[in-house]
Amino acid sequence: MSRTLTQTARPFFGASAERGAQTPMADRVFATVFGTLAVWSARLKDRETLADMDPRLLADIGVSAHEAASEANKPFWAA
């Protein structure tokens, strides 16, 4: 029987697979910081890709040139 991610992943808060065990605070902080950096990196890459799209591609995804420029010019930390 194969294991799924939900069966093997450790939760950040609460009890883990070991009864009563908790994730150390350093692990939670690291996961939060790493997660934030991953989101920011993905936003930056997506916005760079959006800025490089030609009008035909923008029309295919249903985004106007103005909307694309507005989104592409946002800083990476802004949602």
Distance of CA 61 to the CA centre of its chain: 21
Residue 38 scores a pLDDT above 60: yes
Q: Where are the domains of the chain?
A: 45-79
48: tokens are 């760079």
The reported pTM is 0.65
pLDDT tens digit sequence for 46-61: 999 999 999 999 999 9
Q: Which residues contact 13 (CB under 8 A, 6 or more apart)?
A: 22, 23, 28
Say what angle helices 65-72 and 25-52 make with each other, to 10 degrees: 140
Question: Angle CA(37)–CA(52)–CA(74) in degrees, nearest 5?
Answer: 45
Q: Which residues contact 76 (CB under 8 A, 6 or more apart)?
A: 40, 41, 43, 44, 47
